[in-house]
Amino acid sequence: MNQKKLNAAIVGLGFGKEFIPIYQRHPNTNMYALCQRTPDKLNEISEQYNMTERYEQFEELVQDPNVDAVHINFPIYLHGSQSIANLQ
């Protein structure tokens, strides 16, 4: 059976960047997008991992219809509101 790969996005690239190669190597995922509030850090890490889909705003990321799953790595106090926004 040919299964579509899941387009994953990572939000927060401090500790979150450690997950990029894991998603890139996983046979059922496509490491699709990165989101980071700091433009310089976003661009540096995106270039390092050859990522083209980049977002500075979480709200823009969750509007992308190509995103299937969001891995949230922003500070813990933001997890609740971001999880709800992502589900909507």
The residue ranges of every structural domain in the chain are 6-87
Rounded to whole angstroms, the Cα distance separating 36 from 51 reads 13
pLDDT digits 0-9 by tens, 31-58:
999 999 999 999 999 999 999 999 999 8
User: Is the Cβ–Cβ distance between 62 and 39 less than 8 Å?
Assistant: no
pLDDT band at 3 (very low <50, low <70, confident <90, very high): confident
Q: Compute the mean pLDDT over every residue in the chain, rounded to the nearest whole number.
A: 88
Determine the average pLDDT of the residues in 47-73: 93
pLDDT value at residue 75: 63
CATH superfamily ID and name for 6-87: NAD(P)-binding Rossmann-like Domain (3.40.50.720)
For residues 25, 23, 29 and 40, what is the CA-based torsion angle, rounded to 10 degrees? -120
